[in-house]
Amino acid sequence: MSVGVPVLDSDHKTLIGLINLLQRSIGDDEEYAAVGSVLQALQDYAAHHFAREEKMMEACRYPLLERHHLTHDGFVERVQALKVRYDEDHSSVRARDCLTFLNGWLINHICTTDMNYRAWVIGHSGALAAAAGLSMAGNGRKAEAIDWPSLRVLVVDDNVNFAEIIRTILEGVGVTRLLTVHDLAAARDALGGQGWDMMICDWHVGEESGLDLVKWVRRGPPDVAALPILILSGHERMTNRDLALLAGANEFMEKPVSARNLLMGIGRLLA
Ligand SMILES: [Fe+2]
Ligand SMILES: [Fe+2]
* Nearest ligand, measured from the Cα of 13: 1
Banded model confidence at residue 226, pLDDT cuts 50, 70, 90:
very high
Output DSSP code: residue 230: E
Q: How far is CA 75 from CA 81, 82, 89, in A?
A: 10, 11, 21
Residue 131: CB partners within 8 Å, gap ≥ 6? 5, 7, 8, 52, 53, 55, 56, 121
User: Among residues of the chain, what percentage have pLDDT more than 90?
Assistant: 42
Instruction: Report CA-CA distances (Å) from 218 to 222, 237, 266.
Output: 8, 26, 19
| Nearest ligand, measured from the Cα of 54 | 2
- Please give the distance, rounded to the nearest whole angstrom, from the Cα atom of residue 109 to the centre of ligand 2: 6
Beta-carbon contacts of residue 199 (< 8 Å; ≥ 6 apart): 153, 154, 155, 156, 187, 191, 217, 227, 228, 229, 230
Task: Could you please state the CATH topology (level 3) that the domain comprising 6-134 is classified under.
Answer: Four Helix Bundle (Hemerythrin (Met), subunit A) (1.20.120)
pLDDT tens digits for 25-69? 777 766 777 777 788 888 888 888 999 999 999 999 999 999 999
How long, in residues, is the chain?
A: 271
Q: What is the distance in A from the centroid of ligand 1 to the CA of 93?
A: 25
Instruction: Give one DSSP letter per residue of 170-200, joined into a string.
Output: HHHTT--EEEEESSHHHHHHHHHHS--SEEE
Give residue 194 CA to ligand 1 midpoint distance, Å. 38
Give 156's strand partners. 181, 201
Q: List, for residues 164-178, the tens digit of each pLDDT value.
A: 889 988 998 889 999
Region of poorest pLDDT, from 19-28, 43-52, 235-244: 235-244
Going from the Cα of 217 to the center of ligand 2, the distance in angstroms, rounded, reads 45
Q: How far is the CA of 32 from the centre of ligand 1 (A)?
A: 27
pLDDT greater at residue 17 or residue 229: 229
Fold match between 6-134 and 141-270?
no
How many A from CA of 147 to the centre of ligand 1? Answer: 25
Give 268 Cα–ligand 1 centroid separation in angstroms: 30
Q: How far is the CA of 113 from the centre of ligand 2 (A)?
A: 7
Per-domain residue ranges of the chain: 6-134, 141-270
**Neighbour order of strands in the sheet with 198-202:** 177-181, 152-156, 198-202, 229-233, 251-254
List residues bridging with 98 in a β-sheet. Answer: none
| Rounded Cα gap, residues 104 and 106, in angstroms | 5
- Note the pLDDT of residue 191: 93
CATH number for the domain formed by residue range(s) 141-270: 3.40.50.2300
Distance 256 CA to ligand 2 centre (A): 26
